[in-house]
Chains A and B, each alone.
Chain A
Amino acid sequence: MSASPIVNDLVIRFANVNGTGSASANGLFAKAVFRMGIPVSPKNIFPSNIQGLPTWYEVRVSEKGYLGRREGLDIVVSVNPQSMPQDVRSVREEGYFLYDNTKPLDIRLQRNDIHYIGLPLTRICLAEYRDPRQRLLFKNMIYIGALAALLDIDFSVLKNLVQDQFQGKEKLIAPNIHALELGCQYALEHFDCPLGLRLEKRDLVGDRILMDGNAAVGLGAIYAGATVAAWYPITPSTSVVDSFDKYCKRLRIDAGSGARKYAIIQAEDELAAMGMVIGASWNGARAFTATSGPGVSLMSEFLGLAYFAEVPAVLVDVQRAGPSTGMPTRTQQSDILAAAYASHGDTRHVLLIPATPKECFDMMAEAFDLAERLQTPVILLSDLDLGMNDHVCDPLSWPDDRVYDRGKVLDAEQLDELERYGRYLDVDEDGICYRTIPGAHPTRGAFFTRGSSKNEFAIYTESDEDYAKNMDRLVRKWNTAKSMVPEPIFYPRSEPCRIGVIFFGTSTASTLEAIERLAEESIRVEGLRLRAVPFSEDVERFIEEHEEVFLVEQNRDAQMRTLLVNELGVNPQRLHAILHYDGMPITARFIQQTIQSQLASADTPAMDQVAEGGR
């Protein structure tokens, strides 16, 4: 270990057993790195199980601020005998394997090309603690303590974190710090600390925060003034409503009466959840639901109703690996088409695609304005990686002068001034008509909302002319939406580029990293991040202006490419899809290598040549 140390650039993976309290200890590690001012990106890799199966927590530390997942494990902390063989194998050459050496290591698990660091976790716990539960829980804190010595983590940072974490449960602070010290002490006494791989304090995170996307979505709903949440539990969306619930309890209880200024309804299924959202929105409340792929399938019929009857609705789809039950605890961007065209008949839905928790917050708030302005469902397409993992992102903010845009709603006075009210009259010629809320006026403005064909005055009709006219107006509305939704973000380079790469959502960090790595090899690539459907003209222009256009997606079938081709009439051969769909978050290396190999092949790939990342 004479080579100069590697500082602030590592990937460490914790291998634990689900349900043993490892999550909070591992979270402590990530947070400590963050508090040392170093960019960090933790990822949960967990089973669809409550207790007993292997679970991993992978933390990437990157001085350069690369926050996507990276292959190659520098350190593996093994606390799960069950997954040990696999965990030993996963360490990169010259990497470190930390394990519980209370029992000697199985000789079959010996490798010559890695470093073994044995910590007698079980023995220390047996000596220190009587209670079996404590033995289990403190084991986690002991290995974190050892890591503090091995990686040179500022111990006071850890101490402060423990104090913060156990606020209100002060009795737990001292024993947890003691456990950290035990580990730290053992490592200092038995190893040459710190290792060649270590952390150093920096000032690289500034005022940024560490938050998961689902928490930010729930908070966004609070700020947007949502009052009704209807939902049915499903991983990985559940914590959206948990977050909304948590913040409601803090921020939405009437101080005097204790009454709630919100309603959270756990529905009997996703179908009902969507029905409740539509009923509440129709009745003038801001309402939302959160689900994942299977729920979106069930909600389809209702989404078509809301589209055609023009009722606002906000739906959060935290995508997971499909089809069917698929891999419920793995990530994917594979509901794009299901969401964009949910329901039978000619339907199209507005999609918002956040890439960070901050954007989850902003776009959730935006979703309510858009749904009410456009009087249609708005679907926030998040995914498991964004929703359930912590991400470093800019702090949240809310301009206090921002006013909710409730769209075109007529009140009693406005109704009195009207000669004749027509619910579906396109007065402003933007495809968006004026709605009224039940109870607004004793004799004016009432109409019948329905999913069947109607004329401009909301009267049932089977007239071909009226039907077509209405359908055409909905296209007009769709075109209006193009200028309302968040614009794509362009990542230009100072020199002209013939290569462009389009990406969205959780492929962002890795794609941006890949762009930089390619630049280091003199391959200049410009980027465009999609943030919404319908697409704006900027997307068309970007495709036109680049000779080679790559499109990064985390699904098998290049769903975004299909959508771009369908919506913009792009020649499919113009878009080279880079597809990653094994359920793990996409990496920069995968993107970089795919682009390089495609560029290397004499001709650029034809439309059916798509790079696939599934294992």
Chain B
Amino acid sequence: MTYLRPAFAHPDLPRNELGYTRKDYESALSTLCAGCGHDSISAAVVQACHETSIEPHKVAKVSGIGCSSKTPTYFLGNSHGFNSVHGRMPSVATGAAAANRELTYIGVSGDGDSASIGIGQFAHAVRRNVNMLYLVENNGCYGLTKGQDSATAEVGSRSKAGSVNQLAPIDLVSMALELGAGFVARSFSGDKAQLVPLIKAAIAHRGFALIDVISPCVTFNNNPGSTKSYDYVREHMNTTGHFDFVPMHQEITAQYPPGSSKEVTLHDGSSVHLHKLDDTIDPLDRRSALHALQEYKASGKILTGLIFMDEDSQDMHQVMNTCNKPLNQLTQSDLCPGNRVLQDINDSLR
């Protein structure tokens, strides 16, 4: 069942640049388990989209199958959504993005969806640099099929049923970095202060933007032995430094000591401010990012934040040199060469 939220909106609700309230970005009530990390991510998406003032209908949501992939029903109700098949969201998103380069694409996937059945499609969406936000709601297990270990579960991680995972995990963040992704981040569903600006920056980024969000499954994976539980993540989290996202029309606040900050302008004119806390990481350098990831992993810590960003990467449409007008808006007169040309072709075949 899907519960509809009451349509009533308080007149005093804050409105964004376009005059939309947060309500305009909400959707049906979630049917996930109470406390599921995925719901916090949905809330973060709502907040980020409201704050960045994107028109809700200019967003298209695409997902695979899983508890995580259900969540697009629970945010941005005024946007079209497509809950496709297990592990194949990347291809559907790629086709959609090819058809209309003007919409914002939010892909939602799970760790089963992206690191197992869909790992091939995930890799190729990265490689093609599809202009999209790719959210992995990573709980280290298959929520919807009742808690089996997923390929992102750490060695030694214990499922609720008591089994201990012995296989090395696949880290989608390292993989995306290796494959050349232009925006790679990791966050935690319980850390909205970090997640919301990351989502905003990812949306503003042109090209493929991965945010791997650790998102505890309260039903199957929030037990003491799990490395994707709330407690474990809170204890082992380490951030890359503070970071804020500044939309193009907003003034930059000078809260941080200027000496330790770096500003990156995104293609739409907005900017990202990186406040370095740790000299080992330069999010503008792929090798340093990879190195840092490994270092933290070796010391049993989870590195979160914006791990790597490259604003100059060429997205799929730039590589393909497609016209500016979205392909789905070209008309018959743009596309059909007409009978005269066909008769010339006939002549060449005689």
Point out residues on A near B: beta carbons under 8 Å: 34-35, 207-211, 219, 222-225, 227-228, 230, 251-252, 254, 257-265, 267-269, 271-285, 287, 301-302, 305, 309, 395-400, 403-404, 436-443, 446-452, 459-460
Contacts and interface: CB of A to CB of B under 8 A. Distances in A.
Given A279-B95, A446-B57, A449-B83, 11 more contacts: A222-B336, A272-B91, A272-B121, A279-B62, A283-B100, A283-B103, A285-B99, A302-B85, A438-B60, A438-B80, A439-B60
Main secondary structure of the interface of B (DSSP, over half): helix
A438 B103 contact: yes
Interface string B55-99: 111101010000000001100011111111100101111111111
A397 B347 CA distance: 12
B327 A262 contact: yes
A305 B88 CA distance: 11
Interface string B170-190: 000000000000000000000
Contacts of B124: 267-268, 272
B223 to A, nearest CB: 30
A219 B90 CA distance: 29
B338 A398 contact: yes
Nearest to B89: A275
Of A257, A277, A301, A438, most B-chain CB atoms within 10 Å: A438
A420 to B, nearest CB: 13
Contact of A278 (B95, B121, B342, B346): B95
Contacts of B58: 439
A270 to B, nearest CB: 10
B299 interface: no
Contacts of A302: 85, 88
B13 interface: no
B271 to A, nearest CB: 27
B261 interface: no
B55 A450 contact: no
A395 B124 CA distance: 41
B21 to A, nearest CB: 12
A439 B121 contact: no
B102 interface: yes
A283 B96 contact: yes
B349 A442 contact: no
B98 A225 contact: no
Contacts of A260: 320-323
A126 B99 CA distance: 56
Contacts of A227: 99, 327-328, 330, 335
B254 interface: no
B92 A282 contact: yes
Contacts of B327: 227-228, 261-263, 280, 285
Contact of A301 (B78, B81, B85, B337): B85
A280 B96 contact: yes
A590 to B, nearest CB: 30
A282 B96 contact: yes
Interface of B: 1-2, 24, 55-58, 60, 62, 72-73, 77-85, 88, 90-100, 102-103, 120-121, 123-124, 128, 317, 320-324, 327-330, 332, 334-339, 341-343, 345-346, 349-350
A439 B102 CA distance: 9
Of B93, B323, B330, most A-chain CB atoms within 10 Å: B323
A257 B321 CA distance: 10
A439 B103 contact: yes
Contacts of B323: 254, 257, 259-261
B104 to A, nearest CB: 10
A259 B324 contact: yes
Contacts, number: 231
Contacts of B345: 219, 396
B347 to A, nearest CB: 9
A267 B91 contact: yes
A413 to B, nearest CB: 15
A287 B78 CA distance: 25
A387 B328 CA distance: 29
Contacts of A224: 336
Contacts of B341: 251
B80 A263 contact: no
A586 B324 CA distance: 49
A217 to B, nearest CB: 14
A210 B98 CA distance: 34
26 contacts: A209-B349, A211-B349, A223-B336, A225-B330, A225-B335, A230-B94, A261-B334, A265-B320, A271-B91, A272-B121, A272-B124, A275-B88, A275-B91, A279-B91, A280-B98, A281-B95, A301-B88, A302-B85, A395-B343, A398-B336, A400-B339, A439-B80, A439-B102, A443-B56, A449-B80, A460-B73
Contacts of B93: 279
Contacts of A400: 338-339
A284 B88 contact: no
A269 B55 contact: no
Contacts of B82: 279, 282, 309, 448-450
B328 A397 contact: no
A-B residue pairs, 7 tightest by C-beta? A279-B95, A275-B91, A276-B95, A285-B99, A438-B80, A280-B95, A279-B92
B335 A252 contact: yes
Contacts of A277: 95
A279 B94 contact: yes
B98 A263 contact: yes
A524 to B, nearest CB: 36
Given A448-B82, A449-B82, A438 B346 contact: no
A191 to B, nearest CB: 31
Contacts of A275: 84-85, 88, 90-92, 94-95, 121
Of B24, B78, B84, B123, most A-chain CB atoms within 10 Å: B84
A304 to B, nearest CB: 8
B335 to A, nearest CB: 4
A272 B88 contact: yes
Nearest to A164: B348
Contacts of A459: 2
A279 B349 contact: no
Given A227-B335, A400-B339, A449-B83, A441 B96 contact: no
A309 B85 CA distance: 11
B324 A283 contact: no
Of A283, A301, A396, A439, most B-chain CB atoms within 10 Å: A283
B83 A450 contact: yes
Contacts of B85: 275, 301-302, 305, 451
A437 B328 CA distance: 10
Contacts of B322: 259-263
Contacts of B317: 263
Nearest to B70: A460
A403 B62 CA distance: 31
A209 B62 contact: no
Contacts of B83: 448-452
B88 A265 contact: no
B87 to A, nearest CB: 9
A292 B278 CA distance: 54
Contacts of B320: 260, 263-265
Contacts of B95: 228, 230, 265, 275-283, 287
Nearest to A285: B99
Given A268-B120, A438-B103, A439-B57, A276 B98 contact: yes
